[in-house]
Chain A
Amino acid sequence: MFFSRTVTNADNGPDAWLASQPQPLPPMQPIGSAVDVCGVTKRFGDRLVLDGVDLHIEPGSFVSIVGRSGGGKSTLLRLIGGLDQPSLGTVRLDGAERSGLAPQMTMMFQDARLLPWQRVLGNVSVTRNKHWRRDAVAALAEVGLADRAGEWPSVLSGGQRQRVALARALVSRPHLLLLDEPLGALDALTRREMQRLIERLWQEQRFTAVLVTHDVAEAVALSDRVIVLRDGRIASDHAISIPRPHGRTAGKTAELEAEILEELLL
């Protein structure tokens, strides 16, 4: 793991509170995985959830999957991560076909899923790898919670818990981060804060990120590409070429959001 770091100038602006945290990370080489989903169909009993999905995700990109509830978004995410197996078709990671859990993959869920009987530090390094303490402290510093390492999860707020979950997801320096509506249960302000944090850490660490969300604005704000899933098929695929952060070019962002929302309402 690469926690050796040099002190660089932290970016100013809205992330100033994060920048005030110790030891900002230097930019990293792209380490993201390429994901290839080929003709994937998934049935649960008689119900067809995914119907021949083809999707290529560039290494190091940030892709969002939006769609209505029950549209197969989470199922697709679970297939990419290898938590479930497709009924038909294949999922390839960096060109290699595989069954079972994706290597170098971590995941954030809608609820933080912290172990209530482990303190924050123990939750971050749940796998107890070598140097787990040092790595967990560094990862907590990245999400701005260095001072809460010794707390029980039960005393943290919802947003802080998700930040611990984010630290846990990133401490192993994953190549693929899957986000299953991790911000769905947070209030609007905490949500914006978390979005910025996720974007910043993704920019620094260059893993591939796949986000499932109901929130079109969130998808547009964070992603290079938004995929609309409807009735188990990819209905449309929007590349976002607006320079980051996407919120600053409000006109274009709003236009794109409106377009995607319109599609979802069809």
Chain B
Amino acid sequence: MSGALAPAPAASAHAHRTPVRHSVPWQRIADTMLPWLVPVVLIAVWQIAATEGWISRRTLPSPWSIVTAGAALAQSGELEQHVLTSCRRAFLGFSIGGGAGLALGLLNGLSRPAEKLLDTTLQMLRNIPHLAIIPMVILWFGIEESAKVFLVAVGVFFPVYLNTFHGVRLVDGGLIEMGRVYKLGRLALFQRVIMPGAMPSILLGIRYGLGIMWLTLIVAETISASSGIGYMTMNAREFLQTDVVLLGVLIYALLGKAADAAARALERVLLSWHPNFSVKQRGG
């Protein structure tokens, strides 16, 4: 229930950090810089190892050469083209799969007959790894755009569906009864009780879905594509451009991180009532 939510761990972290505010500024700077120390050192070591020739350029090009490769590709407009293509596929596939997952999750969560009719089928399909159907998808769609979009949609569908369904089912029965007593109509009950109650779970499904979205896209573009980041890296492999391959990996990482940050931002906005997500943490 409302009160049973555990106090956010961040609340204690906040209390712990409070004295810092009153102390010397360099301590605060150190506090924010510390997490970046290890990556910076690693990259520095990597750069030195590459320029000193300890590692072969073919195995692992230096960080700087990845930057220059990226700059060259960006200048030719090639990079932008590939990134946009990949993002379009990701977005389309996510919208279709996530939309269907949300709709079916709500339907089966709200209606027992619909659940009886559909849930067993969906649970069976869920157990097929969606990447296993790639040969099938290539037979159906060739290596067109629709193949990639379809695969992403299938991959995203299940986490969104499952979490939406469980979110709706786990809405506190006491709150639903309260809604009944206060004579909320079906729409009001859905809008004010069920949907917000299921929202934490739905957003969790969306975050899972976003992870699967990139994973699926990487595999799909690597196997069969004539554009996109996956194609760019596979193409680079043929010409032994290890720096471009690494650049592709880096871009995937950045895009994944960006998608996750967007999902977190969505959580902070939609779950601002939730003690674990509120931006302004309260103690005790």
Decide yes or no whether B38 CB sits under 8 A from chain A. Answer: no
CA distance in complex: A109, B173 (Å): 13
CA distance in complex: A154, B1 (Å): 9
Known contacts A109-B174, A113-B175, A115-B196; is A158 also within 8 Å of B180 by CB? no
Decide yes or no whether A101 CB sits under 8 A from chain B. Answer: yes
A101 touches B181 (CB 8 A): yes
Could you mark each residue 1-28 of chain B with 1 if its beta carbon is under 8 Å from any beta carbon of chain A, else 0?
1110100000000000000000000000
Could you mark each residue 81-116 of chain A with 1 if its beta carbon is under 8 Å from any beta carbon of chain B, else 0?
101000000000000000001000111010111111
A161 touches B3 (CB 8 A): yes
The segment from B148-156, B182-190, B211-219, B240-248 that touches chain A is B182-190
Neighbouring B residues of A127 by C-beta, 8 Å? 182-184, 188
Could you mark each residue 107-139 of chain A with 1 if its beta carbon is under 8 Å from any beta carbon of chain B, else 0?
101011111111100000011100000000000
From A107, A118, A153, A161, give the contact of B192 (CB < 8 A).
Answer: A118
CA distance in complex: A153, B193 (Å): 15
Neighbouring A residues of B199 by C-beta, 8 Å? 117
B181 touches A106 (CB 8 A): yes
Neighbouring A residues of B177 by C-beta, 8 Å? 83, 109, 113
B275 touches A154 (CB 8 A): yes
A115 touches B180 (CB 8 A): no
Neighbouring B residues of A109 by C-beta, 8 Å? 174, 177-178
Neighbouring A residues of B282 by C-beta, 8 Å? 155
**Interface size classification for chain B:** 20 to 34
Could you mark each residue 165-187 of chain A with 1 if its beta carbon is under 8 Å from any beta carbon of chain B, else 0?
00010000000000000000000
A154 touches B180 (CB 8 A): no
Known contacts A126-B184, A128-B188, A155-B282; is A113 also within 8 Å of B178 by CB? yes
Neighbouring A residues of B197 by C-beta, 8 Å? 117
Decide yes or no whether B112 CB sits under 8 A from chain A. Answer: no
CA distance in complex: A126, B178 (Å): 10
Q: What distance in Å separates the Cβ of B194 from its nearest Cβ neighbour in chain A? A: 11
A101 touches B183 (CB 8 A): yes
Q: What distance in Å separates the Cβ of B196 from its nearest Cβ neighbour in chain A? A: 4
A178 to B, closest residue via Cβ: B181
A111 touches B1 (CB 8 A): yes
From A83, A112, A128, A168, give the contact of B2 (CB < 8 A).
Answer: A112
From B5, B175, B183, give the contact of A154 (CB < 8 A).
Answer: B5
Interface residues in B228-284 (C-beta closer than 8 Å to A): 271, 273-275, 278, 282
Q: What distance in Å separates the Cβ of A208 from its nearest Cβ neighbour in chain B? A: 16
A106 touches B175 (CB 8 A): no
Q: What distance in Å separates the Cβ of A127 from its nearest Cβ neighbour in chain B? A: 5
Known contacts A115-B192, A115-B196, A118-B273; is A83 also within 8 Å of B180 by CB? yes
CA distance in complex: A165, B1 (Å): 14
Neighbouring B residues of A126 by C-beta, 8 Å? 178-179, 182, 184, 192
Known contacts A111-B1, A128-B188, A154-B3; is A116 also within 8 Å of B181 by CB? no
A residues in contact (CB < 8 Å) with B: 81, 83, 101, 105-107, 109, 111-119, 126-128, 152-155, 158, 161, 168
B residues in contact (CB < 8 Å) with A: 1-3, 5, 172, 174-175, 177-184, 188, 192-193, 196-197, 199, 271, 273-275, 278, 282
Q: Which 9 A-B pairs have the closest CB atoms?
A: A116-B2, A117-B196, A117-B273, A113-B178, A107-B181, A153-B2, A113-B174, A154-B275, A152-B273
